Amino acid sequence: MSAFSALTATNPAASTRSAWSVLKFGGTSVSKRSRWDTIGRLALARRDESGPVLVVVSAVSGVTNALLAIIEAAQRDVAQAKSLAEVLCDKHREFAASLDLQADAVIGQRFAELHALVVDTRAARADFGWQAEVQALGELMSSALGEAYLNRQGIPIRWIDARQHMRAIVLPNTTQWAARLSVNCHIDTSDAYRAGFAEQGDLLITQGFIARDEAGQTCILGRGGSDTSAAYFGARLQAARVEIWTDVPGMFSANPREVPQARLLSRLDYEEAQEIATTGAKVLHPRCIGPCREAAVPLWIRDTERPELAGTLIDASAVDAAPGVKAISTRKGIVLVSMESIGMWQQVGFLADVFAIFRAHGLSVDLIGSAESNVTVSLDPSENLVSSNVIDALCADLVAFCRVKVIVPCAAITLVGRGMRSLLHKLSDVMAVFGRERVHLISQSSNDLNLTFVVDESVAEGLLPKLHELLIASGAMPVEETDVFGPSWRQLSGQAAARAACWWQSRSTALLALADSSPRYVYHLPTVRARAQALAAVEAVDRRFYAIKANPHPALLRTLVDEGYGLECVSQGELSHVFASVPALAPQRVLFTPSFAAREEYLLARERGVRITLDSVYPLEHWPELFHGQDLQLRIDPGFGSGHHEKVRTGGKGAKFGLPASRLAEFLATADRVGARIVGLHAHIGSGVTDAAHWRTVYSQLAGLAEQIGTVESIDVGGGLGVPYEPDAPAFDLDAYARALAEVKSAWPHYELWIEPGRYLVAEAGVLLTRVTQCVDKLGVRRIGVDAGMNALIRPALYGAYHEILNLSRLQDAAGSPADVVGPICESGDVLGRRRRLPDRTQEGDVLLIATAGAYGAAMASTYNLRALPDEELLDD
């Protein structure tokens, strides 16, 4: 079903409504001739499909800002205002010419009005009504040009003045400013009104943003008011729908400019959309949702450049009982007002008193946090807040009641979605991120639709991509619900990484044959070599070690040793395994980097002659005899961690690894006493890191310390390089990694640069083959059971990790309905993938391939439930 037919089919009120469609086009959508052609085409198509059409337009891009500049200039420098006005008229002349129109013939009268307003006596006192009249000209001009152009194209659209229809209402506490420059409008839903409106024609064009007050004077709806105008018209006409045509494909789960992985939200209910719009998304003006919701008019966001995309549909039918975070957003410019009063405890009327002051200043309070002697509130960056010194005035009044502190600039980071309270257990990773920062205020909305954290603006910088990723990984944002979550911005904007050819795509026959024993891991040695060589081409690196914990299969170890890699081990078991698998390996090519290991393990490592890494003073203090005369490597905790999941971040206070730099002196003194020499510094901040800048920071920190120590010869920046698990995820940016390392290496060329990756070398070389055991539908959930569970591959259960899953037996079949792929282990967490669209014909005995399983797959497998360990096989062609 197309979104358009869904619109009529799912909306119970659809049949009782008028057939009007309201189509709103924003600034960029009316700024080019080709866009007006689109407007004409869409308007005609809607009229022919479903009935009369009202087109609501904004001013041409940049015009409202230009008008504001004129307003500003007119108050102090009329000559400048006049010249700005002339520039604006010229801009319209130019635009009209591109439409083959004579601007002066079509909107000459508006030009004259503008010039008259510039010299109006009201200008000097910045009269609000005068400001409204100046600003209204933008929409009056664009709509008139649009009408003339479309008529010329043979489209009989008729211009109407929005001010005849949009009547401002004055709400209690409305300031004089708001009464002219930020009005709300009356909604007349009477049959008589609709009948009268319909008499004007079935193809009309009007202005967004403008209205009139009781006295008939021009007012404006404030920034973003065109959306609201469209919604008011939609409500008044009881329209079949309001379509907001804009320059993005719809609402997203995060701001796509910051988070390219953000997903298009295909369907939302009014409340969710309201929250998302209010808490940061710029696509829709928050005020426009209310009128549509009250009148049950569906609101549909569409992309003017790409009308074929389905956009975001907001209506009452989208209410989904399943809880889930739909979006995360940030609002900057938040002002926090903290009010401290010792006398507040049980003091009747304190809040009433202070809130009365906010009201008197026309400030609306957003979030509230309270303690016995403190109330902290947040204020949205409203127009009067930025355009006047209202905060100073507010504080001056508040001091009579309490001590006031204003905290700026703050940012509010909000998670929006239904059933936030029931999701808290999934938000632990998100909480952990905030836990490391200073959070001024946490607020959970009483409608259970949002959870907001207020932090300093600087903290919010760059945090969104990480939080978005964590929300998906934890299952809090159920992106597998494809009815709600559409494609990612990256996919829509054509930036999705074209899937790099995977070795297994051309080897399905061989793999199917190998699945005679199942579950079975299969490793492709040429892929291991290819990754090893790509990394070896990073010039700044002097020595490379493979972290065998990722996959200790002997053939992989031999392959990597042949490629020139040393091996990094973390246990006695790994050490023994390494020398058994590659007997000729020189001990100098082996690192021993254990964590909280027993004394015997260090003893064994020493006997083998491998390079030992210590990460605390304890071994030196308690077993000095082991380290006497040894050259050691010291693992530093750089104070921060990074990686695909909280559980794999190895830096900072919360992690058990590494010596904090603050204890370096003590460590060095002890090493000196023991007679050990520190010849290498080491840090490994975590696993699955995608931002190359981290290694630059780590190296710089270590180099700084190395300079103090004096005996250091090498700096090991660990492993951690990420790999793409999702089919459209970008490959690890090896060039950026090479550049970052080259930069630091050139700053400190006297240290050897070492690395010790695991995942990067083997993850993509491995797949897990598993056979379908049972296919079961239970209470509407489709489940495909397989013989590999969390015993064979624990990453999805442990980290919420994503692994692509496909049915190797039915590669030609189309995607089917969503199914959870589950294992045979007696745990609810035994799920390998959720809501995967495996072919509907998938059946017992089919072979499923679980991709990117070469790292931390077999290595972490267990015999839990006494199930046998998965088999392992190799392919070398």
What is the distance between the alpha carbons of residues 377 and 366, in angstroms, rounded to a whole number?
7
Q: Which residues contact 126 (CB under 8 A, 6 or more apart)?
A: 71, 75
Closest distance to ligand LLP from the beta carbon of 686 (Å): 7
| Binds ligand LLP (CB under 6 A): choice among 552, 720, 785, 839 | 720
Phi–psi pair at 136, nearest 5 degrees: -65, -25
Q: How far is the CB of 585 from ligand LLP (least distance, A)?
A: 18
CB of 592 to ligand LLP, least distance (A): 10
Token digits for 313? 């549909």
Assess 593 for contact with ligand LLP (CB under 6 A).
yes
The distance of closest approach from Cβ of residue 732 to ligand LLP in the complex, given in angstroms and rounded to an integer, is: 10
**Which of 549/834 has CB closer to ligand LLP?**
549
Nearer to ligand LLP, 325 or 717 (CB): 717
Q: Tell me which residues in 662-701 interact with ligand LLP (CB under 6 A).
A: 684, 687-688
What stretches of 582-652 adopt beta strand conformation (E)? 590-592, 611-614, 631-637
Nearest distance from residue 288's CB to ligand LLP, in Å? 44
Can you say whether the dihedral through the CA atoms of 524, 527, 529, 531 is positive or negative?
negative
Task: From 14-22, 146-154, 257-265, 714-722, give the range in contact with ligand LLP by CB under 6 A.
Answer: 714-722
Backbone angles phi, psi at 133, to 5 degrees: -65, -40
* Neighbour tally for 795: CB within 10 Å: 22
Among 550, 620, 806, 851, indicate the residue that binds ligand LLP (CB under 6 A). 550
In 31-126, which ranges are continuous DSSP H helix?
33-50, 63-74, 78-98, 103-118
Q: Is 826 among the residues known to form the active site?
A: yes
* CA 348 to chain CA centroid, nearest Å: 43
Q: What is the DSSP string of 750-801?
A: TSEEEE--SHHHHGGGEEEEEEEEEEEEETTEEEEEES--TTT--HHHHH--
Q: Which of 280, 757, 824, 870 binds ligand LLP (CB under 6 A)?
A: 757
For residue 627, how far is the Cα from the chain centroid? 49
Laid out side by side, the sheet with 439-444 consists of: 365-370, 374-379, 324-340, 403-418, 450-456, 439-444
Please select the residue that binds ligand LLP; options are 110, 285, 418, 795, rule is CB under 6 A. Answer: 795
Q: What is the DSSP letter of 109?
A: H
In the chain, the amino acid numbered 704 is: G
Residues 6+ apart with CB under 8 A from 433: 463, 466, 467, 470
Is 367 in contact with 403 (CB distance < 8 Å)?
no
Q: Which residue number has the CB closest to ligand LLP?
A: 719
Q: For ligand LLP, which is the closer residue by CB, 293 or 795?
A: 795
* Closer CB to ligand LLP, 329 or 616, in the complex: 616
Closer Cβ to ligand LLP, 236 or 795, answer by number? 795
Structure tokens of 607? 């006997």
Question: 797-856: which residues touch ligand LLP (CB under 6 A)?
Answer: 799, 855-856
620 to 659: interface string for ligand LLP, x by CB under 6 A: ----------------------------x-----------
**Residues binding ligand LLP: what is the number (CB under 6 A)?**
22
Tell me how far, at minimum, the Cβ of 867 lies from ligand LLP, in Å.
20
Question: CA 346, CA 350: separation in Å to the nearest integer?
Answer: 9
Positions of E strands within 94-252: 158-159, 168-169, 184-185, 203-207, 210-212, 218-220, 241-246
Decide: is 792 part of the binding site for ligand LLP (CB under 6 A): no
Question: What tokens were used for 13?
Answer: 């009120």
Contacts with ligand LLP, 497-516, as mask; x by CB under 6 A = --------------------
**Residue 50 and residue 21: Cα distance in Å, rounded?**
8
Q: Contact region for ligand LLP (CB under 6 A) — 439-447, 544-552, 581-589, 699-707?
A: 544-552
Interface residue with ligand LLP among 40, 658, 718, 766 (CB under 6 A) is 718
Point out the catalytic residue in the list 89, 395, 569, 826.
826
- From CA 254, how far away is CA 411, in angstroms rounded? 15
Nearest-approach distance from CB 757 to ligand LLP, in angstroms: 4
Is residue 721 at the binding interface for ligand LLP, with CB under 6 A as the rule? yes
How big is the CA angle at 586 (ends 620 and 686), to the nearest 5 degrees?
55
Nearer to ligand LLP, 95 or 856 (CB): 856
Listed ranges 367-375, 482-490, 543-551, 814-822: which one lies at the site for ligand LLP (CB under 6 A): 543-551
**Using CA atoms, how far apart are residues 828 and 840, in angstroms rounded to an integer?**
24
Minimum distance, C-beta of residue 463 to ligand LLP, in the bound complex (Å): 22
Least gap, CB of 800 to ligand LLP (angstroms): 11
Please report, as a single letter, which amino acid is at residue 650.
Answer: T
* Bridge partner residues of 783 (DSSP): 776, 820
Q: Of these, 24, 285, 293, 759, which contacts ligand LLP (CB under 6 A)?
A: 759
Minimum CB–partner distance for residue 644 and ligand LLP (Å) = 6
Q: Which is nearer to ligand LLP, 721 or 861 (CB)?
A: 721
Span interacting with ligand LLP, options 70-78, 223-231, 464-472, 542-550, rule CB under 6 A: 542-550
**Positions that interact with ligand LLP (CB under 6 A):** 547, 549-550, 568, 593, 648, 684, 687-688, 718-721, 756-760, 795, 799, 855-856
Residues taking part in catalysis = 826
